Structure 1
Amino acid sequence: MHDVTTRLAGAALALGLLGFAAGSAAAADKPLMAMMNGASEKPAAADPDGSGMATVRPDPAKGQVCYDISVKDIAVATMAHIHKAGPDAAGPVVVPLKAPGADGKSSGCATADAAVIKDIQANPAGYYVNVHNAEFPAGAIRGQLK
C-alpha cells in the first residue's frame, strides 16, 4: 500500500510540474501591451490629445519582436520604437518598429538581439513604445510595456 501511495504522489508531483512548466511557457508567449499618450513622453509631455496602443509579442527563439500599433489624434507618424527606460526617463532605442501610416496603424516583426528580447519579456516595465512625428520629433506619444 505504501508503494502505491508513493507512486501516486510521485505521479501527481510530475503532473503538477508539467502543468507549471506549461504555464510558464504560456506566460512567456503572452503579448505585452503599451497604452500610449502624450503626457507619458519624457523628458517633457508631448501631443496633448494623442493616444494609441501597441501590442508586442517578443520571440527570442526567432530573434524577433512582432507588433501591432494603433494611434489616433496625432499627425502622421515618422518613426516608432521600443526604448529601454523606466517611466520617468527617456532611453535608447532597442527595437526599431515600422511607423504607423496615414491610417494610424502598423504591424510587422522586427529583428532584435535575443538577449534584449529576453530582457523585454522578463522586465517589460523597463521598456516603452513611442511614436514620433514631425510636430513632436522626440516622441508624440509613449507608453510603458505591461
Structure 2
Amino acid sequence: MKLTRILTAAAAAALLTGVSGGIALAQETDPVTLTTSGSGAEEVPSGTGQDGATLAGTFTLAADDTLTYTLSVTGADEPLTMGHIHQGAAGANGDVVVPLDIAAISAGTEATAMVPAEVADAMRADPSGFYANVHSASYAPPAGVARGQLSLDGAAAPSVVNTGTGGQAAGPDAGALALLGGVGLAAVAGSVLVARRRRTS
C-alpha cells in the first residue's frame, strides 16, 4: 500500500510538471506540413483559369515561421510570371499574404519564404482558408493559370504515447506508468529506489 501511494504521488507530480511542459514544447516546435492540389477550373470567377493546367505542392511551416515549399505546375501555355499564397476560402478570392519564388516553381525545385507571424498562426489554425496560385501574361491577377486550396497533411504525432501495460497486469499503477511516458517513468523509478532503501535500512 505504501509503495502504491508513492507511485501515485510521483505520477501526479510528473504529470503536473514534466509531461505538461513536454507537451507545450512539442506543440511549439513541431513543423506543420500542408499540401495543395488544384487546376485552372478552381480559379475564381469560374472559367478564368487555364483549361488543362494543374498545380501540386507541399509546404512545410517551421516553428520560426519559415515556409519551405515545392510547387509544380503542368499544362501552362506561357511562361509563369508570378506565384502567391492568398488568404481566401474555396470559391473566393483573397489578398496575397506570401509571395512565392516563380523561378523555383517553373523549375519544380524547393524554395523558402518567411511568413508573417499572424499569417503563419492563421495557416496553422485553418489551412483551408488559404490557397496557392500562379499567373502568366494571359492570366494576370486576379485571374490565374491554376489554383489549389491548402490542406493539412495528416495529424501531428502525439506528444505522449500510451505504451500499454508493458507486459504487466493492467491496474491503476500500470495505467499511470503508461500515461507518464519517459518523464514519469524516471520520477517513479527514483521514488521506488528511495522506498526500497528505506525498507532495507
Same fold (TM over 0.5): yes
Structure 2 distance, partners of 1:113, 1:25, is 16
Count of aligned positions? 142
Instruction: Please give the root-mean-square deviation of Cα atoms over the aligned residues, in Å.
Output: 2.4
Instruction: Give a deviation string over 1:41-93, Cα, whole Å, max 9, x none.
Output: 112231121112121122352x4322111111112211100000000100110
Mapping for residues 1-146 of structure 1, pairs under 5 Å: 1=2, 2-10=4-12, 13=15, 17=20, 20-21=23-24, 24-25=27-28, 28-45=30-47, 46-59=49-62, 61=64, 63-75=65-77, 76-99=79-102, 100-101=105-106, 103=107, 105-137=108-140, 138-146=143-151
Instruction: Give a deviation string over 1:115-146, Cα, whole Å, max 9, x none.
Output: 11121111111100001112322211101110
Report the TM-score, using the length of structure 1 for normalisation. 0.82
SS of structure 1 residue aligned to 2:84: strand
Higher helix share: 2
Which runs of no fewer than 5 residues in structure 1 stay unpaired? none
Report the TM-score, using the length of structure 2 for normalisation. 0.61
Kept in 1: contact 2:135–2:145 (CA 8 A):
yes
Kept in 2: contact 1:77–1:131 (CA 8 A):
yes
Which runs of no fewer than 5 residues in structure 2 stay unpaired? 152-201
Task: Work out the percentage of aligned pairs sharing the same amino acid.
Answer: 32
Q: Which has the larger radius of gyration?
A: 2
Distance change in 2, residues 1:60/1:96 (3 Å): farther
Higher strand share: 1
